[in-house]
Amino acid sequence: MTANDRPARLLVGLLAGAGAAHVVAPKLFDGLVPEFLPGKQRTWTHASGVAELLLAAAIAVPQTRKAGGLAAAGFFAGILPAHLKMARDWRDKPTALRAGAYARIPLQVPLVLWAAKVARDAGR
């Protein structure tokens, strides 16, 4: 990565950190898995962590950055149900926690746009 790849480097860091957290501390994320998904919550938690790690790796490599960025944009859009579930489940939490849960919902939009920009910039 070059100095001009700062958005990509930051996205790699975000995805790698989130992926590692899902694998190392899955209990924190199990409750976010929507009930409509088949199977065990832990399986989905680990799978999403591995997906984030793979996305980070794809974005880190210039030859796969465009595809990785597009896949990350899709991933960020795809995890919106987990954030909606968190907001619903945390309705009775203290104000600061509830605000954090609600803030995650619109935060998906800039994440999708960021990943799409990384993909677009990779094509140049």
SS3 18: helix
Question: Do 55 and 15 contact (CB within 8 A), yes or no?
Answer: yes
How far apart are alpha carbons 115 and 124 in whole angstroms? 15
Cα torsion through 28, 29, 31, 35, rounded to 10:
-170
Q: Is the pTM of the predicted complex or chain greater than 0.95?
A: no
Q: What is the pLDDT of residues 16-51, one digit of tens each?
A: 999 999 999 999 999 999 999 999 999 999 999 999
Q: What is the pLDDT of residues 54-84, one digit of tens each?
A: 999 999 999 999 999 999 999 999 999 999 9
H-only helix segments in the chain: 6-24, 27-30, 41-60, 65-78, 80-89, 95-122
Residue 55's identity, in one-letter code, is L
Q: What is the pLDDT of residue 3?
A: 52
Q: What is the pLDDT of residue 124?
A: 77
